[in-house]
Amino acid sequence: MKQNLIAKSLLAGTGVSENDAARLTLEAIETLGELATGTSRPELVTLLRRVIQAGVAAVKAAEHTVSLSVAAWASVEARKDLRPTTRRDLRHFVRRILRVEGAADMPLRSMSTADCKRILAAAFGASPSSYRKGRVILSSVFSYGIRQEWADSNPVTRIEVPAVQEKSIEPLTPEEVEKLQATASRPEFRDMRFSLSLMLYGGIRPTEVSRLQAGDINWEEGHVIIRPRTSKTGGGRAVPLRGVRGIRKRERFIPRNWKRKWQALRRAAGFRHWVPDVCRHTFATYHAAMFRNLPELQLEMGHRDTSLLRSRYMVPARRKDAASFWQSAGLPRSAKNRPASRGCPAAGALGQPWLLPTLQGGFLACLPPAGAHISPFSLAVRVNTLSISGPKYSRTSVFL
């Protein structure tokens, strides 16, 4: 009886009765299950106190959050290092996400994967590519929110990434390339000749060309440096200078109002419909058709691997068109069979080793025995092992 009076006194003013306290205690013990089974009274009291402390911390954490709108704009503000065009695209996608009914005011911490799926479907469902980009941006908002302790997890990571079917882009024909070059040779467009050569014969993106500075052109070593601040993907690369021999030195610069002049040149050349980055695709297609060196093309394009080249850029092209394209850049006919790197002689020359490109981008040198009939054979590159199938050849050296 005395204990009941003490309990009633302790609970006075809390609005919780002795029965409520007893029920809550029993619920906690039942929920703990085996953790509470067989414990002594002091151990059980300590365990219940830990449960209460952990619960209080969880409730407080749940209350420490912000709306999706506040988190999204805070994450945009935190990316001040991005280029203006990238920040503009980011803001555009954030607005589309927040325009979905009810999305802006949702507490970030309480949002589920189902909520995020609904928002993405409503904002970008009609376009798989926009859906993918919207998913990346929404995920970045949650990642930022986790760092600010506004959320515990990122529900977007559990949303599957939709597959996007990459569409191949037809390269410009030699006749179309000639029209562009002829137009760029006109007095009003001469200051765009250098830019056109960088796009056609270097595969440099238009936006990257427009951002080039004088210090990015290394005339002594004959290459253009695409710095991370200039690159679309944020990675740097070096691209050989090609097709500039016929351009006077005073015309080798990037003019002001570049975007407007590039549009005017295309219109003057008769192009009413223009596929973005078609010059880059033209370069890649004819490079692959002429040199057959995907690792080197990958480096010049700035790709992580050759998969994108194979899925998006590998449009069948006639060697005749490729030869015409590269001859217009000043490439001599004798260079068409030369390996594109390391200065090695052509494979298969009589009396010389066969130099075959390996998967690692180097060469395997194989010397056929005297009097042997030289026929096609395949090269298999394996870890720590180089094997050749076909006639018996003596391996002389390996360059990797």
pLDDT at position 7 = 67
Q: How confident is the model at residue 62 (pLDDT cuts 50, 70, 90)?
A: low
How large is the average pLDDT for residues 147-168? 85
pLDDT at position 400 = 26
Distance (Å) of CA 113 to CA 48, 124, 139, 191, 330: 32, 16, 11, 53, 56
| Yes or no: domain 174-335 corresponds to CATH 1.10.443.10 | yes
How large is the average pLDDT for residues 102-126? 94
Condensed to tens digits (0 to 9), the pLDDT of residues 268-313 reads: 999 999 998 899 999 999 998 888 888 888 888 888 777 777 767 7
- Rounded CA-CA distance 301/237 in Å is 8
Condensed to tens digits (0 to 9), the pLDDT of residues 74-90 reads: 999 998 888 788 889 99
Q: How confident is the model at residue 3 (pLDDT cuts 50, 70, 90)?
A: low
Strand order in the sheet with 363-367: 354-357, 363-367, 394-399
**Rounded to a whole number, what is the largest CA-CA distance in the chain?**
114
Q: How confident is the model at residue 187 (pLDDT cuts 50, 70, 90)?
A: very high
Q: How confident is the model at residue 194 (pLDDT cuts 50, 70, 90)?
A: very high
In the chain, where the domains are located: 2-63, 68-158, 174-335, 354-399
Q: Is the pLDDT of residue 38 over 70?
A: yes
Condensed to tens digits (0 to 9), the pLDDT of residues 349-395 reads: 334 444 444 333 444 444 444 444 433 333 322 222 333 333 333 33
Q: Is the pLDDT of residue 100 over 80?
A: yes
Q: What is the DSSP string of 26-53?
A: HHHHHHHGGGTTT--HHHHHHHHHHHHH
Q: Are 315 and 309 in contact (CB under 8 A)?
A: no
Tell me the backbone φ, ψ of residue 17, rounded to 5 degrees: -85, 170
CA 286 to chain centre: 24
pLDDT at position 364 = 45
- The domain made up of 68-158 has a fold known as DNA polymerase; domain 1 (1.10.150)
How large is the average pLDDT for residues 337-345? 39
- Mean pLDDT rounded to a whole number for the chain: 79
How large is the average pLDDT for residues 1-26? 74
Q: Between residues 337 and 322, which one has the greater pLDDT?
A: 322
Q: Are 110 and 62 in contact (CB under 8 A)?
A: yes
- Rounded CA-CA distance 28/51 in Å is 8
Q: How confident is the model at residue 1 (pLDDT cuts 50, 70, 90)?
A: low
Q: Is the pLDDT of residue 211 over 60?
A: yes
pLDDT at position 348 = 38
Q: Between residues 47 and 399, which one has the greater pLDDT?
A: 47
Distance (Å) of CA 55 to CA 15, 25, 60, 275, 382: 19, 13, 9, 58, 57
Q: Between residues 340 and 253, which one has the greater pLDDT?
A: 253
Can you read off the two tokens belonging to residue 78?
A: 């935190």
**Helices and strands per DSSP (H, E), number in the chain:** 15, 8
- Rounded CA-CA distance 161/84 in Å is 27
CA angle 223, 228, 230 (to 5 degrees): 75
Q: Is the pLDDT of residue 133 over 90?
A: yes
Q: Are 64 and 149 in contact (CB under 8 A)?
A: yes
Among 34-43, 168-177, 228-237, where is mean pLDDT lowest? 228-237
Q: Is the pLDDT of residue 336 over 70?
A: no
Of 164, 126, 120, residue with least CA distance to 141: 120
% the chain with pLDDT above 90? 39
Q: How confident is the model at residue 8 (pLDDT cuts 50, 70, 90)?
A: low
pLDDT at position 232 = 75
Of 42-56, 103-117, 299-313, give the range with the top mean pLDDT.
Answer: 103-117
Q: Are 93 and 134 in contact (CB under 8 A)?
A: yes
Q: How confident is the model at residue 164 (pLDDT cuts 50, 70, 90)?
A: low
